[in-house]
């Protein structure tokens, strides 16, 4: 791989990580500037174009890869992205774009007739298929292509209804929510199945877990339910857990994105996810850092046989590698130089332990 010459070396280690095994050290992905000045890419001229212009998105990603050093398990990956509410847009929502983020304004009225089926004639659906067609040749032998983010199920309803309304619906319309979730389960399987041919058209080896950029030997994506922060464990189990199981069945490898302290109360349920959900990606949220503050929680997760996918600061790497088992541990971190990046990878080897 042009942007990652030692790519083949990470494969046995990452295969072991997905199995929850320890090959030789914890997986650690370190990205650092490689000393080359970043190639300037002319601005396409509008906010809309920065989100939607296929060629500009690829030019920008490639310029970033060219000036980045990928140490350890870090791999150059592009994952086409129209924002976290892309799935809801496929169901009829209208995406509002801003710099760095986008969202769908609530639009679901239970009195209206919405099929909860993916609109394959929508702009968003066609945009992503076009993106993968263009990416196939440009990425071949250079970098990997990943799947789009997928906030489906309860998160789709959160986007479509809004936080207050969906929480009230769980009390007022439980049967409607259950019937809708059954439809959304069919839609998410269609979503996960739809794009693999385009992703794999460049002949790449393996896949990547969407926006986490974590290499996987099989088809992979992040699964998530940010709605967890607003509901009880009983509601999670009753209404939304099965959809996550369905997603695991549609994928070969998954990582669960656990977002913030208000979601921790659901951990005991997440331990019941299928075994191909290999790890919890813990995000502590604004004002709740650093990662080393959460060592007790992270040890608890490991004690239940789940792997960990953690983003941390360089100064935390040694403590985390010392305190946590290297088995099933994946760290994502930035460095200021190639030397610092290599030193972190060497530290992971030095501190490896069960």
What are 141-157's pLDDT values in tens digits?
Answer: 999 999 999 999 999 99
Please report the pLDDT score of residue 113 as a whole number: 85
| pLDDT interval class at 179 (50, 70, 90) | very high
How far is residue 156 CA from its own chain's centroid? 16
In a domain, 115, yes or no: yes
In whole angstroms, give the CA distance from residue 37 to residue 130: 30
CA distances from 210 to 61, 144, 181, 253 (A): 15, 11, 23, 11
Average pLDDT over residues 103-113: 94
Please report the pLDDT score of residue 193 as a whole number: 96
How far is residue 27 CA from its own chain's centroid? 17
pTM, whole model, 2 decimals? 0.97
Mean residue pLDDT across the chain: 97
Judge contact between 181 and 116, C-beta under 8 A. no
Reduced to 3 states (helix: H, G, I; strand: E, B; else coil), residue 309 is strand
Of residues 253, 254, 87, 112, the one with CA closest to residue 186: 87
In a domain, 1, yes or no: no
In whole angstroms, give the CA distance from residue 229 to residue 278: 22
223's CB contacts (< 8 A; 6+ apart) are: 150, 244, 247, 248, 251, 254, 255, 256, 257, 277
In whole angstroms, give the CA distance from residue 281 to residue 20: 14
The dihedral of CA 181, 250, 199, 119: what is its sign? negative
In whole angstroms, give the CA distance from residue 44 to residue 260: 36
Which spans in the chain are helix H? Answer: 7-18, 47-52, 54-66, 86-90, 123-139, 153-161, 163-172, 174-194, 196-199, 233-235, 241-250, 267-270, 295-303, 317-323, 338-350
Please report the pLDDT score of residue 285 as a whole number: 94
Q: Is it the case that residue 237 has pLDDT exceeding 90? A: yes
Please report the pLDDT score of residue 342 as a whole number: 98
| pLDDT interval class at 350 (50, 70, 90) | very high
Q: Is it the case that residue 253 has pLDDT exceeding 90? A: yes
What range does the domain containing 68 cover? 7-350
Judge contact between 211 and 222, C-beta under 8 A. yes
282's CB contacts (< 8 A; 6+ apart) are: 258, 291, 294, 297, 298, 301, 308, 309, 310
| pLDDT interval class at 112 (50, 70, 90) | confident
Please report the pLDDT score of residue 202 as a whole number: 97
Structure tokens that stand for 194 in this block? 């739809």
In a domain, 2, yes or no: no
Please report the pLDDT score of residue 184 as a whole number: 98
Query: Into how many domains does the chain fold?
Result: 1
In a domain, 178, yes or no: yes
Please report the pLDDT score of residue 75 as a whole number: 98
| pLDDT interval class at 50 (50, 70, 90) | very high
Please report the pLDDT score of residue 354 as a whole number: 94
3-class SS letters over 206-265: CEECHHHCCEECCCEEEEECHHHHHCCHHHHHHHHHHHHHHHHHHCCEEEEEEECHHHHH
CATH number of residue 83's parent domain:
3.20.20.210
In whole angstroms, give the CA distance from residue 62 to residue 230: 39
Of residues 27, 7, 28, 30, the one with CA closest to residue 18: 27
Q: Is it the case that residue 235 has pLDDT exceeding 90? A: yes
Judge contact between 139 and 131, C-beta under 8 A. no
């Amino acid at each position: 791989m042009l942007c990652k010459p030692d790519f083949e070396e990470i494969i046995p280690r990452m295969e072991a990580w997905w199995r929850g095994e320890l090959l030789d050290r914890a997986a650690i992905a370190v990205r650092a500037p490689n000393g080359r000045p970043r190639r300037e890419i002319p601005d396409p001229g509008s906010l809309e174009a920065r989100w939607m212009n296929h060629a500009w998105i690829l030019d920008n990603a490639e310029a970033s890869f060219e000036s980045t050093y990928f140490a350890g398990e870090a791999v150059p990956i592009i994952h086409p992205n129209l924002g976290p509410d892309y799935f809801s847009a496929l169901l009829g929502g209208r995406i509002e774009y801003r710099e760095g983020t986008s969202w769908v304004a609530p639009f679901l009225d239970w009195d209206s007739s919405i099929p909860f089926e993916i609109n394959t004639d929508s702009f968003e659906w066609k945009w992503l298929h076009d993106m993968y067609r263009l990416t196939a040749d440009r990425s071949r032998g250079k970098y990997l292509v990943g799947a789009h983010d997928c906030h489906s199920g309860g998160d789709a309803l959160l986007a479509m209804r809004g936080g207050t309304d969906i929480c009230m619906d769980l009390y007022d319309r439980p049967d409607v929510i259950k019937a809708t979730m059954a439809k959304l389960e069919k839609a998410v399987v269609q979503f996960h199945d739809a794009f693999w041919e385009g992703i794999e058209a460049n002949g790449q080896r393996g896949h990547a877990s969407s926006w986490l950029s974590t290499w996987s030997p099989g088809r992979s994506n992040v699964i998530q339910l940010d709605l967890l922060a607003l509901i009880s464990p009983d509601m999670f189990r009753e209404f939304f857990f099965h959809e996550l199981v369905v997603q695991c069945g549609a994928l070969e490898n998954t990582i669960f994105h656990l977002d913030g302290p208000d979601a921790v109360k659901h951990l005991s349920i997440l331990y019941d996810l299928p075994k191909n959900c290999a790890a919890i990606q813990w995000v502590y949220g604004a004002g709740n850092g650093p990662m080393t503050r959460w060592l007790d929680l992270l040890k608890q997760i490991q004690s239940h046989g789940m792997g960990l996918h953690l983003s941390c600061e360089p100064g935390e790497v040694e403590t985390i590698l010392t305190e946590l088992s290297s088995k099933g541990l994946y760290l994502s971190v930035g460095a200021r130089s190639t030397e610092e990046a290599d030193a972190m990878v060497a530290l992971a080897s030095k501190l490896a332990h069960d």
